[in-house]
Amino acid sequence: MTDWTDAARKLAAEITAAAPEWHDSVCATPRHQLVPRWWEPIPDSYPFAWGLHAPNPEQPWMKLYSDETLVTRVGPLHADQAKPEDQPTGLPTSSSTLPGLIVRMLHLLDPQPADRVLDAGTGSGYSAALLAHQLGDDLVTSIDIDAYLVQAARERLADFGRAPRLEVADATSSLPDEEYDRIIATVSVRPIPRSWLDALQPGGRIVTTIVGTSMLISADMGKDGIARGRVQQDPANFMRTRQNLDYPARLDQVYTAARDQAGDHIRDLSGPMPDLWSDWELRCLYELDSPDIENRSATCADGTELLWLLAADGSWARGEGASSTVHQSGPRRLWDELELVQSRWEAAGRFPLSRMTVELGPDRSILVSPDEQWLLGI
């Protein structure tokens, strides 16, 4: 049977080619000790459900040392605490993120010797382990709002000799310390917490993602108290910060109303059906303009597309590719809002989001388009 260190070295070779400074940390971190069990989707389940998984005895390291995200908690139920017959149907609320993304973010973070680093979102403890190996335990603080996750990570890290500071804390509120040189978040935020900006020292760097988008940003703190940077080229997704055991329920009642009934307002599509799944940049711009709109899509048997936009106030829209028709109901016209964002972006030449700059300050945090015509709050 292959030893885990061989599997870790293979993973390191795969994910650190562009970040060689993290090679040894990946090699030295036993991910299997941090993620003994996880959830995987049950194929063809309805409603969509998750099943409990553990390492395959025949190939125990294959899944754990692959560049994959392992979901460790669904709704309020952590895989550690689940029974074999449990099949939760909620949304993921914690995971061990794909190692390649963590390494990419750490490379972007670029911590230097003696830097004090805050890791927001302990999860399984994997990113804290990599940081502690690189910098030393005393320079790494990792926080999570979930007391069980913090305690489990603390014990599992200690089992292989790592002891960074782990604390139960709300990442959007007060931080364990007042000063940090680097802040990395494996949870998404919006707005950027004021506590992060207050704690980040001049010359320090923030690497994080924005709630509801796939936008990975980095920004360096200036002496004037403003952190400036830009959107990174490749997308990245993380769960949003939460204050409770679970996220708010999805908008199933709104979807039931929107699924196939006629809207209060019906019109023709103005152009081709937008694809918010593959066109992540349009999806991001729409989310920044109209936050917290839930979108769902489906492909009919004949290959035509359906797209639903749902809001908590009961507003909804449905685009039908087959009939080139839009149905809308409720106090807002969600499809009109989407088309307005799309038309503005097209008029601006559909600039890559990586050309957007970011300014994070105590009074406002914004993304700025290349032509400086869009100032989007984050």
CA dihedral 166, 168, 173, 178 (to 10 degrees): -30
368 near 359, Cβ under 8 Å? yes
Q: Is 290 an annotated catalytic residue?
A: no
- Cα distances from 328 to residues 105, 258, 308, 320, 334, in angstroms, run 40, 8, 10, 12, 7
Which residue in the block uniquely carries the two structure tokens 């309020």?
A: 76
Report residue 187 as tokens.
Answer: 């949870």
Q: Which residues pair with 167 in a beta bridge?
A: 143
C-alpha 116: how far from chain center: 23
Strand 305-310, strand 294-299: pairing: antiparallel
Strand order in the sheet with 316-320: 265-268, 325-329, 316-320, 305-310, 294-299
Alpha-carbon distance of 215 to 280, in angstroms, equals 9
**Which of 95, 96, 142, 214 does the annotation list as catalytic?**
96
- The residues annotated as belonging to the active site are 96
